Chains A and B, each alone.
Chain A
Amino acid sequence: EDQVTQSPEALRLQEGESSSLNCSYTVSGLRGLFWYRQDPGKGPEFLFTLYSAGEEKEKERLKATLTKKESFLHITAPKPEDSATYLCAVTHSGYALNFGKGTSLLVTP
């Protein structure tokens, strides 16, 4: 059975203070690891998909990396508008996603 564990549960950063969020996973035959951003009262917004160990993707202040056991979402010089819950999900079947509980990020001015 797929397992996805995200840490920390909550993170508070000062504006400009870089950090990383962790997503460790156990899945038989990874077909994809996904990162989403979720704002209060909204559905998850797609950020990245990673498929194989060593892969990296970037978007503005965010960079996602993948190893055989975990993924990191690096946030460089965050701004208050980066405050949200970040969700990690995996799929082994190629269709349904199995989500972690998320990391709630708060960036203060």
Chain B
Amino acid sequence: SAVISQKPSRDICQRGTSLTIQCQVDSQVTMMFWYRQQPGQSLTLIATANQGSEATYESGFVIDKFPISRPNLTFSTLTVSNMSPEDSSIYLCSVVGQTYGYTFGSGTRLTVV
């Protein structure tokens, strides 16, 4: 399976600010996804990161709030913009490759104060 490096692993941020989370994969992958896991809840898909084009967002998530970039086949970023305490969650990067299934990064634990 792929090895995913997700940074930062955790952060505490002031409301109204933005945080960019990075996801680096050790090999080229077919698809990259960003998920959110709110406290005590399961994982919810935010968007599919498309290489070289705009991300595909799920219902309830918008580009202005969660801009995503994917400049190549091994790297993506998720920005959480204009944060409020409701954005406190774990954010997870996930990838799918041609020879392996869905693999997840270790996550970014975000606390907004």
CB distance from A7 to the nearest CB of B (A): 13
CB distance from B101 to the nearest CB of A (A): 6
Residue A25 at the B interface, CB < 8 A? no
- Residues 80-104 of chain B: 1 if any A CB is under 8 Å from the residue's CB, otherwise 0? 0000000000001010100001111
Residue A29 at the B interface, CB < 8 A? no
Residue A97 at the B interface, CB < 8 A? yes
A42 to B107, Cβ gap below 8 A? yes
CB distance from B44 to the nearest CB of A (A): 8
Cβ–Cβ < 8 Å partners of A78 in chain B? none
CB distance from B53 to the nearest CB of A (A): 15
Contact of A101 among B41, B58, B101 (CB under 8 A): B41
Nearest A residue to B102 via CB reads A97
A34 to B43, Cβ gap below 8 A? no
- The A-B contact count (CB < 8 A) is 48
A46 to B92, Cβ gap below 8 A? no
A46 to B106, Cβ gap below 8 A? no
- Residues 82-109 of chain A: 1 if any B CB is under 8 Å from the residue's CB, otherwise 0? 0000010100000111111110000000
Cβ–Cβ < 8 Å partners of A34 in chain B? 101-102
B45 to A43, Cβ gap below 8 A? no
A43 to B48, Cβ gap below 8 A? no
A43 to B42, Cβ gap below 8 A? no
Cβ–Cβ < 8 Å partners of A96 in chain B? 33, 45, 48, 58
B residues lining the A interface (CB < 8 Å):
1, 4, 6, 31, 33, 41-45, 48, 58, 92, 94, 96, 101-107, 109
A residues lining the B interface (CB < 8 Å):
34, 36, 41-46, 49, 87, 89, 95-102
Query: Top 5 closest A-B pairs, CB basis?
Result: A43-B104, A99-B42, A99-B43, A101-B42, A43-B106
